[in-house]
Every structure is written in structure tokens, then in C-alpha cells.
Structure 1
């Protein structure tokens, strides 16, 4: 059942969302309209690349704020890299799924080489997307963190914790669709969550989009350039 969780006082019923979304751009427009009543005009919009950037573009355009990326990397189980045991965001410390580490018999020290490799790839992507340009100043400003969806929520959690350290006046997580259990688990990490659709039966983010094509670094750069031209 679709709903918005827009504050700490619990889920609030929202207008039903028609799923699947056509593409990330449509999802971004739907999400942007849900954000308007939250009083976030001019907020810094930070998208998780790659898939969150087209969504974030629509949000930033509607709110009239700057768009940039916050780069994250999944920390994978060395024997099965697609299994995420943690994540890291630029400017933040690694965030681990401690329960999963326990089940796998791993310690954080065991993952040190993996973390260093992911830090290197994170730094490469930051250079590719922003060059020498720093993150926008977020201290004392409202910040909206955007992605195209939430499955396990590992990278979003790492990103929210890294952003919290930067002192925003309000920290909002906004995604077009997310697994209901994950949305509930992430509520303590943000001041508000805006999630137009949060189904309990959730296999993958891509199932909620008709067009969910993979994006490359060049696509991210193109969306950021487009946002910069629109703002300038």
C-alpha cells in the first residue's frame, strides 16, 4: 500500500501512486510534488549516483535548489561481492551491517582491504563527477537526499550519516519507491522521509520501473551539466 512517511509522527496516507513508473524522470516528478508541501524550497538536493541523479534533477528543478551528487560505495562480502555487508559515503566512516557480519563470522578488520578498494573507487567517481569542485555547503541548510529506490538501504544509511556530520538544518530522505521494511528501519536516520510508494512485496528497485536502463558515468555528468545550465 503506497504511503508517505513525511515526519516522525508516523506514516501518513498519500494519494495512490500508479506503479510501475515509466522511468526515473517520471518518478522524480512524482516525488518532487510530494516534497513541495514540506517547505523545502531552495534545499540542497544530493542524489546518489548513478540512478538517483535523473530523479534528483526533477526534484531540484521543482524545489529551485542546487543539484549535486553524494558518492557512495557498497562494501561487499569478499567471497560474494554482490552481497553487501556495509557501505561508505564520501566524507563518512564505513557503516556495517553488524548482524550480517556476525552471521558470516567476519569482523571489520577482515574487511579492511575491501574498504580501501572501495574508498579508491569512490574517490575516482568523485573526481569524474565533480573534478575539484567540493560538495555544496550544507551546514545550516535543508538537504534532500535522493535515490531511485530503496532495497536494503545500506548506501542510503551511510549517506545519511555522512550528511548528518555536515550539520544540515533539516535532513530529508526522498525516494520514489522503497521496501516498506527498509523505509521503517531508516526513519531514525533522517528528520523526514518522503516515499510515495512503499510496498511490502519488494524484490528489486527495477521491478517498479518500465524503463530502468543502467546509467554510466557520462550520463551522471550530463545530468549535472544540464542542472547547472538550468540554474545558471
Structure 2
């Protein structure tokens, strides 16, 4: 097995940004990161493209007594996506779905408040949205994000990751308008194997990067990441 593809998430983001250069300085483009690991990657992408950066939070709705099985997901902006096949197969009631969504919704709102400091979610309608994470293994979270984001009416959804399992990248191509996996090593195993430094991204780092990106966007000037 070969060694890591990237030093850290920031380097992965810079490589990814180079492959997304056609979106540079396009006024209708937004970069949305899946927290927390996707934020350092997306920060580099947004900085290079001169695009606004924000987060798009997704919380899985685990089926009753089968928490590992997703019966749906909720996402930023109050969007709810339900997997009808799972719900019908397990006989999950509307009340159970609502209770699970309410519980997960509280956690999603807590994270949004922590990351955004009261700023509302971005309006994606009619925009090209570049949805970024640090990698794709099974792609489950990203698929939920794409489905939820689609309900908010963007003109185009571009999924972009530095590294991903080839099969997951191919599967997502049926759901997003474009999928860009900068590296597709095989065998894949896990996202973290392809970064030399894959330390957990903290809430504070997320907040700092969002704040820095906002200041850079407002000033129209780029500054190097620390």
C-alpha cells in the first residue's frame, strides 16, 4: 500500500482548489463544508476561488432499535429527508420519526449556533454549491447532504473531496451534478489513511476558519492559512 496522498486537510484543499479553478470568482458560487473535517479543506477551496464559505450540517436519523441504520437525515435550513424503504420495512411510525428528528434537530441547532454565531444559513437557491468534505468512504453522509441540499433549490451541486473510494465517487455522480474526487486510491480502506496528519478538527478551529474566511471575503483579499 502506498503512503499518504496529502500532508493534512489544508494541503488536500489546495490540491482540490486547483481542480476547481473554473469556478474562480464566479458570483453565484458558494462553498459549503461538512463539519468538522471538511472545513479546513473547504477553507482552502473558498479562499482560492474567492467564494463565500459556510457549513452545511447533516444529522442522521437512526431507526428505532437500529440506530446504525439511517431512516433519513435532517440538514441545515430545516430540511428533512426520509428513506421510505427503511421506514416501511421496519414499520416506523410518524411519531417515531418526529421524535428522532426533534432530538437530532436540537443537536444540529446547537452546532449551527456554535459555528455561525447567530448568522442565518446561506440562501443557496439558484446558486452553484460546491459541497466539500475531507474524503468519501461509504459516502452515506454526503448522499444525505446532497439530497437535503437539493430541496433548497440550488442551480448546481458539485461534490468535491481530496480523496475518495472510487465506487463511492461513482455512485454519487448519479445524485450530484458533478463529483470531483482528486485522488481515488485502491484499495481505499479509510479516509484518514491518506493524510499524514488527520488529527480531529475542533469546534474552535471550525469557528476560526469560518470567521477568517468571512473577513477575507469582505475585504476581497487573500491571507495565508496558519
* TM-score bracket for the superposition, by shorter chain length: 0.7 to 0.9
Alignment of 1:129-144 (within 5 A): 129-144=115-130
Change (3 A) 1:108 1:187: farther
Write the distance in 1 (CA, Å) between the matches of 2:213 and 2:42: 10
1:75 aligns with 2:61: yes
| Equivalences, count | 213
Q: TM-score scaled to structure 1, two decimals? A: 0.80
Q: TM-score scaled to structure 2, two decimals? A: 0.82
Q: Which of 121, 127, 138 is 2:107 aligned to?
A: 121
Give the stretch that moved more between structures: 188-197 or 63-72. 188-197
- How far is 1:106 from its partner? 6.2
Q: Which of 80, 84, 99 is 1:93 aligned to?
A: 80
Deviations 1:104-162 (CA, angstroms, capped at 9, x unpaired)? x4646555543332111011111111132112222222111111111222221222122
Write the distance in 1 (CA, Å) between the matches of 2:181 and 2:201: 22
Write the distance in 2 (CA, Å) between the matches of 1:83 and 1:211: 30
SS in structure 1 opposite 2:179? strand
Change (3 A) 1:96 1:178: farther
1:37 aligns with 2:17: no
Runs of 4+ that moved beyond 6 A: none
Q: 2:203 matched to which residue of 1? A: 217
Unaligned runs of 5+ in 1: 1-17
Unaligned runs of 5+ in 2: 219-226
Change (3 A) 1:39 1:98: farther
